Structure 1
Amino acid sequence: MGRESASQGLSQALRELMAKHPGVEVHGPSLRIWFMWRGQRCRESLGLTPTRANIKHAAQQRAAVVHAVKVGTFDYGEWFPGSKHARGAKRLRNARLGEAAERYLELKSIDITTETERRYRHALDAVTESLGVDLLASTLTPEDVQLMRGELVATRQVATANHYLAVASGFFAWLKTNGYTDQDLAGAAERIRAEDAEPDPFTQEEFRQLIERGCLHPQDVAAVTLAVYTGLRPGELCGLAREDLDLERGCLTVRRSVTRRNELKVPKTKEGRDRVIWLLPPALEAARQLHDLSAELEPEVATVALTRHQSRTEILTPLISPTVQARQPLINRWFNPPSWHTKVTKLMKRAGVRHRRPYQTRHTFACWSLTAHGNLAFIAKQMGHKDYSMLVKVYARWIDSESQDEAERIWKEMKKMGATDLDPGTRRGPIS
């Protein structure tokens, strides 16, 4: 029964009053209201007979419901506990985005170091400021996240924007898991794939110029060589100690990283686990040289942060240290990423090599290894990736999938396992 036919039994005065309140209608013997919720028209009976006072009450209740839906505080189970819609509705926790971010960071900080927490806070501040710190988390939509993503792309470098989006993705997943939203927001925070983010490796000729013309001290030669032939992150390179080398076996172990604030922390690998890097001949020779150059340095007791609240103590001697080349007595014993960045920038300028971020030494190792048809799983493990999917995604154009040389290499290895060429004498003509 429609609103018009249902109200035919009402007096003229009540029909005129009903006309002033759209969204209120008569259904059978009682009043009901309708409103839009999650893109659907919902109708709920109030169990009130159609009188002047009840019509006004129904109009006021509908207005309150519409307002609650608009601001994101509407809970179907509280407004209409006996409704069939309430039984299927998930109750969402009401919280402002800024409040939820603080709660997330408070819980996340248990498992991360102080430096990582600082970077997380900076990223979350940028994300929530873009979206609106007072916005209710339950009202956030994928479209809002996409607009925020576009703002980050337009105002920040690709690497910075991608870091913010990675933090945002984890935050949005946490919001859904803990009942602050029922939207899949993490998927909308996709990281950026742009030309500027692609690897820009050194060529062999540029590397030679960097070593021969840019480096004036043996430590610089060895350190740059080790960076290029291991793919270590700058913080991991700066955090190497003499105690990490095993020159007899030809490997080193990555156990820590240096932050930009000169703090030692566990490396950026799953659960902070150590990883063994097997050294190519140039890297092994560079490690030997660095081991000799740092022989006169005294070991020290160092604290390595595991999380914000946990740490371990180690006896360490820096493998690459500013004190080896320093002229002044008061200087840091460890390089950190900014100071390493400054050094490599000077080396490139002196060598006449096109400027790149020092992180490109890591990309250089990956690109050279892939061009040489290295095993993907081995390269990924050397670089500290959990699997080789990252290599395929980032370095796809360095993975030559249609190479005659590669086909010949595969066949050569197959013959070692017993495969044989087809005897020309077994060739047959067409079947008649």
Structure 2
Amino acid sequence: MASIRVRDTTGKLFFDFRFQNTRCREQTALDDNPVNRRKLEGILKRIEAEITLGTFEYSRYFPGSSNAKKFGKKAASVRDDHETSLFKSFGELWFQEMQIQWRKSHSQTVAATLKNYIYPWFGEKEVGCIDKADILEFRSSLAKVTSRKGKGLSATRINHIMTPLRMILSEAANRFNFSSPDAGIKSLKVPRTDVEPFTLEEVRLIIESVRPDYRHYFLVRFFTGLRTSEVDGLQWRFVDFERRQILVRQALVRNELVYTKNDGSFRTIDMSEPVYQALLEQRRATGNFEFVFCNRSGSPLAHRNVTQRVWHPLLRHLGLRARRPYQTRHTAATLWMAAGESPEWIARQMGHTTTEMLFRVYSRYVPNLTRQDGSAFENLLQAQFNRG
């Protein structure tokens, strides 16, 4: 571990770090005090970063040192000798550089993935020496890991774990000038899963049967298509009763208000009459608080608590198939499509930038709701064959 230390005999500070498997100690003329320590710690961070990237020039920092002569030109770029840093060292630098682009929740997810899966396997390997066989072996090992529920990791989860590994190797390949070993390795095929929207009759049954204090919450979810994080993070300042609009500007993720999922999610939802009336009534209950749906202290609802204590018990009571509350969003899309709303309008309400996902995911449910698709062709056939 690199550090700034003080020599007992002189009281002067010196650098203590490792370079090319060699311990290096470089003396300074600075006295030991907080100002000088901060100054040298800043220099040491740059040195460590350059060592990790393979661009450290010993003589530039310590021109009069005997170590500068020892390492010579070879130290100017360890890449010339095809030497690269350890995977963990480079991974930590990559994480620091990328973290500014991510939500806090995503940073936590990536950090956990690196710590629990990737570093234990690749951490002590030289990043430039990792090959395709290493990656495939690692991916195979993930298939044998069991989750907390005792189940094996899904293909989706394995692909998510592989993503930061691919990104780190790709960035290292660019900086150290070698071919990324993950080229040609395709992501695992993920089985397609159907959405499971509720019928309009089931929606009516749920809203009429749910606890009164959650009736408005679920009505808004069913008829706006809001995501769980969006409805939980909805504040009164984003409800425009005059224009009858809900402004989706933020989401509640891990108890933190963050920017919407993507630019398309930053949107305006038109209130239907039931939603408008529900929010008017809800304002009487929580209008003095910041959040539209909150507990008695004004804190936003904990969605896991709502799911386990309200949602699943209600579905069991009504004899309905168990589904995640997120299916309320899918239900809104299918009901809008069944009603004949413009696909472009629906896409905007959902936060999709195009209509492609609507037709790919939801269109098959429309015939089940309207019983009209294909009827024109069927009438043509009946007219033709009934002539005789």
TM-score range, shorter chain: 0.5 to 0.7
RMSD: 3.8
CA drift at 1:212:
2.1
Among residues 155, 159, 164, which one is paired with 2:161 in the alignment? 164
For 2:270, give the aligned amino acid. W
Is 116-125 or 239-248 further displaced after alignment?
116-125
Q: Answer whether contact 2:94 2:168 (CA < 8 A) is retained.
A: yes
CA drift at 1:123:
2.7
Q: Answer whether contact 2:200 2:335 (CA < 8 A) is retained.
A: no
Residue 275 (structure 2) pairs with residue 283 (structure 1)? yes
CA distances 1:385-423 after superposition (whole Å, capped 9, x unpaired): 3434444554464477xx9946899xxxxxxxxxxxxxx
Q: Give the TM-score normalised by structure 1.
A: 0.56
Q: Distance in 1 between matches of 2:130 and 2:347?
A: 37
**Structure 2 partner of 1:113:** 103
Q: Cα 1:332–1:90, aligned 2, differ >3 Å: closer, same or farther? A: farther
**Structure 1 partner of 2:28:** none
For 1:268, give the aligned amino acid. K
Residue 170 (structure 2) pairs with residue 182 (structure 1)? no
SS in 2 for 1:276: strand
Q: Distance in 1 between matches of 2:357 and 2:135?
A: 24
Aligned residues: 289
What are the within-5 Å matches in structure 2 for residues 241-390 of structure 1? Answer: 241-260=235-254, 262-270=255-263, 274-295=266-287, 297-298=288-289, 317-323=290-296, 331=297, 333-342=299-308, 343-372=310-339, 374-390=341-357
Q: Distance in 2 between matches of 1:108 and 1:279?
A: 38
Q: Cα 1:232–1:408, aligned 2, differ >3 Å: closer, same or farther? A: same
**Structure 1 partner of 2:19:** none
Percent same amino acid among aligned pairs? 22
Q: Answer whether contact 1:276 1:382 (CA < 8 A) is retained.
A: yes
CA drift at 1:150:
5.3
Q: Answer whether contact 1:130 1:148 (CA < 8 A) is retained.
A: no
CA distances 1:110-145 after superposition (whole Å, capped 9, x unpaired): 122333211121233345157532333334455654
What are the within-5 Å matches in structure 2 for residues 90-101 of structure 1? Answer: 94-101=84-91
Q: Answer whether contact 2:233 2:252 (CA < 8 A) is retained.
A: yes
SS in 1 for 2:242: coil
Q: Answer whether contact 1:131 1:144 (CA < 8 A) is retained.
A: no
CA drift at 1:319:
0.2
SS in 1 for 2:107: helix
Q: Distance in 1 between matches of 2:129 and 2:349?
A: 44
Q: Distance in 2 between matches of 1:407 and 1:285?
A: 37
Q: Distance in 2 between matches of 1:137 and 1:394?
A: 40
Q: Distance in 2 between matches of 1:149 and 1:283?
A: 47
Q: Distance in 1 between matches of 2:183 and 2:332?
A: 32
Q: Distance in 2 between matches of 1:382 and 1:113?
A: 24
Among residues 221, 225, 235, which one is paired with 2:219 in the alignment? 225
Among residues 185, 189, 195, which one is paired with 1:199 in the alignment? 195
SS in 2 for 1:228: helix
For 2:292, give the aligned amino acid. L
Q: Cα 1:147–1:249, aligned 2, differ >3 Å: closer, same or farther? A: farther
What are the within-5 Å matches in structure 2 for residues 31-42 of structure 1? Answer: none
Q: Distance in 2 between matches of 1:163 and 1:170?
A: 11
Q: Distance in 1 between matches of 2:105 and 2:204?
A: 36
What are the within-5 Å matches in structure 2 for residues 116-127 of structure 1? Answer: 116-127=106-117
Among residues 204, 211, 214, which one is paired with 1:216 in the alignment? 211
For 1:337, give the aligned amino acid. H
Q: Cα 1:201–1:293, aligned 2, differ >3 Å: closer, same or farther? A: same
**Structure 2 partner of 1:135:** 125
For 2:272, give the aligned amino acid. L
What are the within-5 Å matches in structure 2 for residues 77-92 of structure 1? Answer: none
CA drift at 1:183:
2.6
For 1:320, give the aligned amino acid. F
CA drift at 1:339:
2.9
CA drift at 1:277:
1.6
Q: Answer whether contact 1:246 1:252 (CA < 8 A) is retained.
A: yes
Q: Kindly indicate whether structure 1 or structure 2 has the higher relative contact order, using CA contacts under 8 Å at least 6 residues apart.
A: 1
CA drift at 1:240:
0.3
For 2:256, give the aligned amino acid. E
Q: Answer whether contact 2:265 2:351 (CA < 8 A) is retained.
A: no
CA drift at 1:223:
0.8
SS in 2 for 1:210: helix
Q: Distance in 2 between matches of 1:149 and 1:392?
A: 34
Runs (5+) with no aligned partner, structure 1:
1-72, 74-88, 299-316, 324-330, 410-432
SS in 2 for 1:322: coil
Q: Distance in 2 between matches of 1:370 and 1:159?
A: 29
Q: Mark the structure with the bigger radius of gyration.
A: 1
CA drift at 1:252:
0.5
Is 377-386 or 145-154 further displaced after alignment?
145-154
CA drift at 1:320:
0.4
CA drift at 1:198:
3.3
CA drift at 1:148:
4.5
Q: Distance in 1 between matches of 2:356 and 2:82?
A: 36
For 1:335, give the aligned amino acid. L
